[in-house]
Structure 1
Amino acid sequence: MPSVDMSLDKLKNYTGINPKPSDFEEFWANSIEESNNTPLNYSFKESSFTFPFGKAYDLIFKGIDGENIYAKALIPNNIEKPIGAIIEFHGYGGNSRDWSSKLPYVASGYAIFSMDCRDQMGYSGNENFRRGNIIRGIDKTPKDLYYRKTYLDGYRLSKILEELEYIDSKKICTLGLSQGGALAFAVGALNSNIHKIFSIYPFLSDFKRVWEMDLGEGPYEELKDYFRFKDPLHEKENEFFTTLGYIDIQNFSSKINCEITMVTGLMDRICPPSTQFAAYNKIFSKKNMLVYPDFGHEDIFGLNDLIYKWVLNI
């Protein structure tokens, strides 16, 4: 079988090499406490997008630092009792995509909230960075890391849903691919009330493994760029990877207590399979890994149908 990484047998036992900060648990406990003590301050405005079986809203809420975060919210009509909800996260450098892409879920009686990651190509934040976000804040403090703020944006969105009377707080799920897969994973770990996670070839895992494999294409080129332009003698290499450990999703694995489905393609050169298994193999809750031997970081035939069936079983 062709492969860009380890054999499947080795993948099933691989647990990652990126260093984990000694105060990781304390760091995130303090971050969640800070978020919980910061008002959510959210508002819904009916969108110009219309459809016959529900309503669309622009949701604006405040991030941990007061930044405006945007999410599309689509709610079905005629809600008789609290319903399940999906929080959807998009890929790196993108946005929450078209309203119409979410309609099958609403037509089936579920609400969906699709967040624009701050300062990418959507409506969250005030800047537009398609790249460079992994290392944003790396030379300051761990609290300044871009993904610390972005993970907390997703967490805060999940807490908003818990407050909505028409949402069943016991049936809130996270969904995403690539960067979105990492956010679905991290938010599902940070909020112990999340019901299910569907994480598709997640990004942001086992950074040192990606760098050592020299397979980092596209977004992971930032790791090489950092050393080439900021630390060419690698004098801060260990500090660099340890700091990234605060946002490495494999370090969140033990916090997941709900059912999780993950997807990996064994030909993935963007998010190598070993980095995904590093996170998956440390999960203790009910889990399932869907392995696609012939696919890389791309659309996978039949996967959208599986996701839809997964939603129907929320």
Structure 2
Amino acid sequence: MPHSALTPDELQRYAPDVAEPDDFDQFWRDTLAEAAARPVLVDVRPQPTDLPLLDSWDVTFAGFGGDPVRAWYTRPAGAREPLPAVVEYAGYGRGRGLPHERLTWPVAGYAHLLMDNRGQAGQYATGDTPDPHGAPGGPSPATWGILDPRDYHYRRLITDAVRAVEAVRALPDVDGDRVSVVGNSQGGGLALAVAGLVDDLAAVLTTAPFLCDMRSAVGLTDLAPYGEIGRYLAVHREGEEAVWRTLSYVDAVTFARRATAPAHFGVGRRDTVCPPRTAFAAYNHYGAANGRPTPPEREIHVYPFNGHEGGEAVHVRRQLRWLASVLHPAHASTG
């Protein structure tokens, strides 16, 4: 699939009816209430980085089931005033890595929390958060526990992502009214999920998001992670109905419909990992079911000749300027 099968005009109108379980909201209320019964912060300790312009901490917070989830917390050195915070979610197969690997947001003046992906580290970056919950399913994270939404890996990971927002708000010198979420690929899907579950975020920034319009995506690409679901179904043919039901509880389009925060999207039109129409499904549905009289502010940037890498540094610059305009409209730069 070297290029999107849909024209630019068709992408702008692509808003499929994504299956939504009748108990979707109750399912997530119950899941998050169970997690919220435990104090969120478990441990916070300074982390040396050899970077004199930044201060970092190794944070452990209680995620799904009270499981300890690791994160790096980094902010400009010596800053004591409450700072707006950015919670970042990593891509599929990545862990949190080392504390000096992702510095864009703290260098830009934000308090930055980078969440580890439970059980996923080792393919592209290191991490140290296990996923101790086992259930019938396939061998990869996208298929762990996929036969039942209560057992599915993404129920746990999305809960962790919500708890990461709670964790950053519990840290000192954070402006809890100005917390944004950001992510690319799987991280972008998690950011959209959090946007639908946390109603007081300052902003959402998502690029090439995974988890969107998932049934369509599984039929559009053989590449991981969607391809892992297709390969599971190629062997477990009898599990198809259960798989689609499970995925309907974690589809980021359904979360996006409930979102209330301003949103910034990015997509490569030649993306063969997360097909561009699936990102547009989330974008075109964004905020449609949040109960407010007007939809939240949103914009999308399309890179016609790019794939899953999207706009890279060009897009990051757009993200920085857009977030500054949302948080500090009187002082934002343009371009």
TM-score of the pair, normalised by structure 2: 0.85
Post-superposition shift, 1:80? 4.4
Secondary structure of the residue aligned to 2:245 is helix
Deviation at 1:311, TM superposition (A): 4.3
8 Å CA contact 2:83, 2:175 repeated in 1: yes
Residue 305 of structure 2 is aligned to residue 305 of structure 1:
no
Identity %: 28
The 10-residue stretch of structure 1 (92-101 or 70-79) with the greater mean CA deviation from structure 2:
92-101
Distance 1:65 1:220 in 2: 26
Give, in angstroms, the shift of residue 236 of structure 1: 4.0
Matched, 1:31 2:35: no
Partner Cα distance (2:175, 2:5) in 1 = 41
1:85 — aligned with what? 85
Task: Report the number of matched residues.
Answer: 307
Cα 1:102–1:267 change in 2 (3 A) is same
The secondary structure found in structure 2 opposite 1:144 is coil
Unaligned 5+ residue runs, structure 2? 122-126, 133-138, 288-295, 328-335
Are 1:222 and 2:228 an aligned pair?
yes
1:56 corresponds in structure 2 to 56
1:126–1:210 CA distance, 2 compared to 1 (3 A) = closer
Q: 1:265 aligns with which of 257, 263, 268?
A: 268
> Could you say which residue in structure 2 is the equivalent of 1:138?
146
2 CA distance for matches of 1:219 and 1:59? Answer: 28
After TM superposition, give the deviation of residue 153 of structure 1 in Å: 0.4
Deviation above 6 Å: which 4+ runs of structure 1?
Answer: none
Q: 1:124 aligns with which of 125, 129, 141?
A: 129
Secondary structure of the structure 1 residue equivalent to 2:143: coil
Matched, 1:294 2:300: no
Quick check: 1:17–1:209 contact (8 Å CA) kept in 2? no
| 1:191 alignment partner AA | V
C-alpha deviation, 1:210, in angstroms: 1.6
Report deviation, 1:254. 2.0
User: Is 1:281 the counterpart of 2:284 in the alignment?
Assistant: yes
Moved more, 70-79 or 264-273: 70-79
Contact 1:11 1:277 (8 Å CA) reproduced: yes
Letter in 2 for 1:124: T
Kept in 2: contact 1:204–1:247 (CA 8 A): yes
Q: CA deviation at 1:20?
A: 1.9
* 2-structure distance, mates of 1:37, 1:57: 25
Question: How far apart, in 2, do the equivalents of 1:230 and 1:198 lie?
Answer: 36
Displacement of 1:209 in angstroms is 0.6
Judging changes above 3 Å, is the alpha-carbon distance between structure 1 residues 299 and 208 closer, same or farther for their aligned structure 2 residues? closer
- Give 1:210's aligned amino acid: A
1:202 maps to which residue? 209
Partner letter of residue 166 of structure 1?
D
- Mapped partners of 1:75, 1:54: distance in 2: 6
User: What's the CA shift for 1:18?
Assistant: 4.3
Output aligned runs, 1:172-183, within 5 Å. 172-183=179-190
Which region of structure 1 is more displaced relative to structure 2, 17-26 or 268-277?
17-26
SS of alignment partner, residue 173 of structure 1: strand
Show the counterpart of 2:241: 238
Q: Match for 2:55: what amino acid?
A: K
Using the alignment, how far apart are the partners of 1:50 and 1:309 within structure 2? 28
> Hey, what's the Cα distance between the residues in 2 that align with 1:22 and 1:176?
28
Q: Which amino acid aligns with 2:128?
A: Y
TM-score normalised to the size of structure 1?
0.90
What is the CA-CA distance between 1:35 and the residue it aligns to? 2.1
The residue number in structure 2 matching 1:193 is 200
Q: Give SS of 1:218's match.
A: coil
The aligned amino acid for 1:294 is F
Runs of 5+ unmatched residues, structure 1: none
Compared with structure 1, are the counterparts of its residues 282 and 126 closer, same or farther at alpha carbon in structure 2 (3 Å cutoff)? closer
Q: 1:289 offset after TM fit, Å? A: 0.8
